[in-house]
């Protein structure tokens, strides 16, 4: 049950933060569904894998976290590049994920 709560909270906060960041980036409203979809596809995978790494490979948690975040940035960048009109989709993906990740660290 705790894992599902963690997944729900993480996804909810990520969606809120990255959609607000998208508006600050001046992403067109018609592209906001692409931002939401990209996060719906990547966030649960990252959170589940992070929990698994923390449980099974705690010595490698930092490396696993870096790899997972880079995977999310890359995957979302591909989605934004192919399915939206977001200017500088790779930079947007990197910055949006950095804001979300750093916010999560502060919580």
pLDDT in tens, 29-58: 999 999 999 999 999 999 999 999 999 999
Mean pLDDT of 78-107: 97
pTM > 0.85: yes or no? yes
Burial of 65 (0-12, 13-18, 19+ CB in 10 A): middle
For 64-92, write each residue's pLDDT tens digit.
999 999 999 999 999 999 999 999 999 99
Domain ranges of the chain: 2-106
């Amino acid at each position: 049950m705790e894992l599902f709560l963690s997944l729900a909270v993480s996804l909810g906060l990520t969606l809120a933060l990255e959609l607000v960041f998208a508006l600050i980036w001046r992403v067109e409203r018609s592209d906001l569904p692409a931002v939401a979809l990209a996060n719906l596809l990547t966030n649960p995978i990252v959170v589940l894998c992070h929990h698994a790494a923390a449980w099974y490979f705690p010595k490698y948690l930092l490396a696993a976290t870096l790899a997972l975040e880079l995977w999310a940035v890359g995957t979302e960048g591909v989605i934004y590049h192919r399915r939206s009109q977001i200017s500088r989709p790779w930079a947007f993906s990197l910055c949006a994920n950095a804001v979300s990740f750093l916010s999560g660290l502060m919580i």
